[in-house]
Amino acid sequence: MNTRVKLVETPEEWEAACRLRERVFVLEQGATHEEEFDEFDADAVHAAAFADDEVVGTGRMFTLPTGETLIGRMAVEPAMRREGIGGLVLDFLEGQAALRGATSVTLHAQTYVTAFYERHGYVTRGEPFMEVRIEHIKMVKRLG
């Protein structure tokens, strides 16, 4: 499978990424539409992984006023999980963060996927917490 990751640039790409997030976070995991699509979407850098011309993975990155850069809303088409797509999206977003001057990135990982992020160099910080009724943990990675 030939997968490429790029910035979401067109309304059609944005709609496809949103449909994937809807399937994963709203239908599969039970978040509400309002919880999934928040005020950070407008200013975030959004990435999409394409297999052929279909969006099969997505994620976003944004910087808070505090200067902390967050990666989140990582989603992969259920039938295509464990094929490296999430890692490609994560690497792309980390690269985008570095291009924008970030020296580290933070994410709130669902605790059942912490091993995935650890394999990509992330370290847990603090204790697990509930976010949208799912247990998460803060994870951080130094860039460069």
Mean pLDDT of 81-89: 95
Neighbouring C-beta atoms of residue 131, cutoff 10 Å: 14
What is the tens place of the pLDDT at every residue in 8-44? Answer: 999 999 999 999 999 999 999 999 999 999 999 999 9
- pLDDT band at residue 1 using 50, 70 and 90 as cut-offs: low
**The CATH classification of domain 3-142, taken from the options 3.40.50.300, 3.40.630.30, 3.40.190.10, 2.40.37.10:** 3.40.630.30
Taking the model in full, what pTM does it have? 0.95
DSSP 32: -
What are the two backbone dihedrals, phi and then psi, of residue 22, each rounded to the nearest 5 degrees? -60, -45
Would you list the domain boundaries of the chain? 3-142
User: How far from each other are the two terminal CA atoms of the chain, in whole angstroms?
Assistant: 29
